[in-house]
Structure 1
Amino acid sequence: MNKIKVGHVLNSIGGVDVSLRLILENLNVKTYDNFVIHGYKDTSKIYLDGDKKKVKDYKIPILRDISIINDIRSIVYTVKIFKLEKPDIVHAHSAKGGLIARIASIFYKVTILHTPQAYSYLSTSNSFKRWMILSIEKFLKNINSVLVASSNSELERGLQEVGYKKNKTELFSNSIHPIRNLENDVKYSVSWPDDYICTVGRPSYQKNIEMMIEVIKELRNDMPSIHLVLMGVGEYYPNLDKVERLIKEYNLENNITLVKWIERQEIFKIISKSKLYISTARYEGLPYSIIESLALSKACVVTDCDGNRDLVIDGYNGYIIKNNDIVEMSKKIHLLYTNENLRSEMEQSSKELFQKGYNLQENIGLIEEIYQKYARI
């Protein structure tokens, strides 16, 4: 039996990069042969398959943001690579990966499985820009495209707003392996107190870190020693200057620690030692940092957005807060931080939710079934 050849197209950063690597490292190597098309500068780390062998990769000028010249060049290169590799199926990750792969499929006919990992039209508050990006997505859905949503929220958005037909959609929730055998010591130089809350999120419109700083300012009124460890600063951070100005303006230098991008195992250790996990995101696909928090048995206080609401059940394993409701989020963090019995109950609930829905050992077969369903073999 011939292997199914799967091409992957993406700008490989953040959660999109994590998702691809987890898929590549867990697909059955006897059934699937993979190659990756990604950006020149997005990652220097090689891709590995389930046998720890290098996956073939091609670098093209694909960027996260819109760049007409680079996008056209990326499409041309992708067409050439498709014709050379002759994939049976293509999995496009992220909005930009979806754009490049689907237009390229006009010139090399192949089904494109598109996983947005949060639709890009959600990334702006400008109504015209949002309409324009959504219109592009509505057009692209008709080009050899099947939506492979990373969460139920993303699936519903694809059906209701982008306009996919139900028979052109699939669901493969982002998943990870259970997190075990963590070493006690954090390699990163720890400069924060033993009792802290944490989050992972680059300073950007999506993550709305400004709201988080307002929450810490509010919390400090009743909890002077409250401390937030904010990880993920340093890879893509368009709002970093604004965040740093707010921290200084509110005199929160002793209450917030910014941690540059570090290895996932180190992030796990920091999350595991925290009191709880928080998120103020405006939108998500299905955030790995919260999945990891569930796997590490952490209660969570998060904003009500796609992805977050899939992973946190209000009053069960944490709390869901309306976007920019600073006072309510502060109250819920204070409650969980100080009520050990309640926090313990929610921590157990988080672990149970992870085991039921987001364990990659159980879920990898779902993406394999999707690949088999749409492959040309």
Structure 2
Amino acid sequence: MNKIKVVHILNSVGGVDVSLRIILKNIDNQNFENVVIHGLEDTNTEFKDKDGKIIKEYKIPIQRNISPLKDSSSISKAIKILRKEKPDIIHAHSAKGGIIAKIATTFLKIPVLHTPQAYSFMSGQSKIKKTIFLSIEKMFVGPNNKILASSTSEQNRAINEVGYPIEQALLFNNSIKPISTIQSLSIDKTWPDNYICSVGRPSYQKNIELMLDVLNKIRKSISDIHLVLMGVGFHSPNLETVKKKIRVLNLESNITLLEWTTREDIFNIIKKSQLYLTTARYEGLPYAVIESLALSKPIVATDADGNRDLVIDNFNGRLIFNEDVKELSQSVVGIINSEEQKQMFSINSLKMFNENFNIINNIGNLENIYRNNVKLKK
């Protein structure tokens, strides 16, 4: 039997890059052939399959921001590659990958599955911007493409706001392998032993400014509270604002900013923390929170898309509505001060991971989705 050929189109950065690499390292390479089309400058790390073999890749000028010239070039180059590769199906990741794939398929009639990993219109900081981005998503709803949502929240957005029919809005939860070993840190540890942690680039989406307000409030109850914030280096448009706020609130001794470190270091830091904190405005299905589940961590989170798919209030952490600084800070303090609550949330986080977000259990679901939606070659 011929392998099903899947071409992935994306700007391969952040969680989008993580998602694709996890898929490629776990999918059955005896029955599926994968090809990757990604940006010129997004990653220099080769893509590999589950046997460690290098996967064919093409680079085109895909970038995060809208650029008529580069976007037109990307579409033209993608169409040429797709005509050459003749895939059975396209899996587009991220907003830009989705648009390129959906335009290309109007010419080539190849089925497209689109995983937004947090819809672009959620990032609109003004009503006008949000309306424009949402209109673009609505424009490309068509019979030859389906949403393959990374979370139930994202699936609901696709149906209720973008306008996909229910039968064209599929679900495959972001998932990871169980984290069985914790490696030693590859960097110097400059923070105290008792700390909380988070992963999030300073940006509108991650809302680190709110996290600083929460940290400042916690400090009134726990004076030596310390936050280790990871991932502040790449594409951090609000970094200077965040650094200024740290100075204004006099939080320099209560926070460590890590620009970049390895994924293994992140696991180590999460595992040894008191809890994981996220103040995001929206997510697809955040890998750092999934990793926190796998590492048996209590989680305090804003009630936002993606977060609410991973945190059940008073089961494996606290889910706080409406960016409430007081509620968020009291929740962190309550967990730190209660070993019984911390233990219960820890046990339930791992249970939730094993039942819903383990890639070893879930990869077969994705393989079946590919099989059920392919355009078989004649």
Please say whether Structure 1 and Structure 2 have the same fold, judged by a TM-score greater than 0.5: yes
**What is the aligned partner in structure 1 of residue 17 from structure 2?**
17
**What is the aligned partner in structure 2 of residue 161 from structure 1?**
161
The answer on whether the counterparts of 2:124 and 2:133 sit within 8 Å (CA) in structure 1 is: no
**What is the aligned partner in structure 2 of residue 350 from structure 1?**
349
**What is the aligned partner in structure 1 of residue 27 from structure 2?**
27
Q: How far apart are 1:144 and its partner, in Å?
A: 2.1
Instruction: Give TM-score scaled by structure 2 length.
Output: 0.98
Counterpart residue identity of residue 305, structure 2: D
Point out 4+ residue stretches in structure 1 off by more than 3 angstroms.
Answer: none
* 1:41-68 superposed Cα distances (whole Å, 9 cap, x missing partner): 1111100011110000111111011111
Instruction: Give TM-score scaled by structure 1 length.
Output: 0.98
**What is the aligned partner in structure 1 of residue 171 from structure 2?**
171
Q: How far apart are 1:224 and its partner, in Å?
A: 1.2
The answer on whether the counterparts of 1:102 and 1:143 sit within 8 Å (CA) in structure 2 is: no
Counterpart residue identity of residue 105, structure 1: T
**What is the aligned partner in structure 2 of residue 145 from structure 1?**
145
Distance 1:143 1:70 in 2: 27
**What is the aligned partner in structure 2 of residue 231 from structure 1?**
230
Counterpart residue identity of residue 355, structure 1: N
**What is the aligned partner in structure 1 of residue 297 from structure 2?**
298
* 1:185-206 superposed Cα distances (whole Å, 9 cap, x missing partner): 2112111000000000100000
Q: Are residues 1:62 and 2:62 paired?
A: yes
Counterpart residue identity of residue 345, structure 2: M
The answer on whether the counterparts of 1:10 and 1:97 sit within 8 Å (CA) in structure 2 is: yes
Distance 1:279 1:306 in 2: 12
Alignment identity in percent? 52
Counterpart residue identity of residue 9, structure 1: I
**What is the aligned partner in structure 1 of residue 87 from structure 2?**
87
**What is the aligned partner in structure 1 of residue 271 from structure 2?**
272
**What is the aligned partner in structure 2 of residue 8 from structure 1?**
8
Q: How far apart are 1:335 and its partner, in Å?
A: 0.3
Mapping for residues 1-377 of structure 1, pairs under 5 Å: 1-142=1-142, 144-183=144-183, 185-377=184-376
Q: How far apart are 1:323 and its partner, in Å?
A: 3.4
Counterpart residue identity of residue 117, structure 2: Q
* Number of residue pairs matched by the alignment: 376
Aligned partner of residue 176 in structure 1, secondary structure: coil
The answer on whether the counterparts of 1:148 and 1:170 sit within 8 Å (CA) in structure 2 is: yes
Counterpart residue identity of residue 274, structure 2: K
Distance 2:137 2:37 in 1: 21
Counterpart residue identity of residue 344, structure 1: Q
Segments of 5+ residues of structure 1 without an aligned counterpart are none
Q: How far apart are 1:143 and its partner, in Å?
A: 6.0
Counterpart residue identity of residue 21, structure 1: R
Segments of 5+ residues of structure 2 without an aligned counterpart are none
* 1:263-321 superposed Cα distances (whole Å, 9 cap, x missing partner): 11110010000000010000000001000000000000000111100000001100011
Aligned partner of residue 309 in structure 1, secondary structure: coil
Aligned partner of residue 148 in structure 1, secondary structure: strand
Distance 2:260 2:110 in 1: 36
Distance 1:181 1:219 in 2: 32
Distance 1:325 1:143 in 2: 41
The answer on whether the counterparts of 2:312 and 2:319 sit within 8 Å (CA) in structure 1 is: yes
